[in-house]
A and B are shown apart, each in its own frame.
Chain A
């Protein structure tokens, strides 16, 4: 079973700061997902990546397959980025195994 560890669990930043959230997993994978859960509770998919880097607006996701590690970066953070960020990797039963999430709070 793939174990997923996220760090930090909680992160508070000032508006404009560069933010990094880390995800490590125990078993080699073909792709990793980053998800965002807003205070209202809904979950949306941010990235699905299997190598290198992907960028969407101010969000950048990187993955190092050899080191079994991925990072999610947010540049020029804004209070509206406040959310729980979750990484997920393949588990059994053709579904995902989820990390416990990183609670990000960006203060104005």
Chain B
């Protein structure tokens, strides 16, 4: 099993450019999440999904969009990149939501917007 796979690992964007961070999992998990991690801060939830076709906003959704057309894939879209979106992004998945289930994380994507 590959677990949770994120691509790319690193990316530099210019202000105003757009990009998609890819996330796929092969564990047949219903729940998938996108987090961002800023220096000295805990991970913040951007968007999450409880199953194919269902997505919802997390704590910091502005400037991002997601889709969940399949159980496996949960891409994160940045439409107009801004310096405030410079961060490390993590995709995660779990079989169930809530606290009583283990979460599996991707390796992260380090994004710099200049």
What count of chain B residues pass the 8 Å CB interface test? 28
Within 8 A of A (CB), among B40-88: 40-43, 45, 48, 50, 56, 58, 88
Q: What residue of chain A has the Cβ atom nearest to residue B108's Cβ?
A: A41
Q: Which residues of A contact B41 (CB under 8 A)?
A: 100
Partner of A95, one of B40, B48, B90, B110: B48
Q: Which residues of A contact B110 (CB under 8 A)?
A: 41
What count of chain A residues pass the 8 Å CB interface test? 29
Q: How far is the CA of A97 from the CA of B41 in the complex (A)?
A: 11
Q: How many A-B residue pairs have CB under 8 A?
A: 69
Asked if B88 and A48 sit within 8 Å, CB to CB, the answer is: no
Q: Which residues of B contact A4 (CB under 8 A)?
A: 42
The distance from the CB of A2 to the nearest CB of chain B, in whole angstroms, is 10
Partner of B103, one of A9, A45, A100: A45
**Partner-A contacts on B (CB < 8 A):** 31, 33, 35, 40-43, 45, 48, 50, 56, 58, 88, 90, 92, 97-108, 110
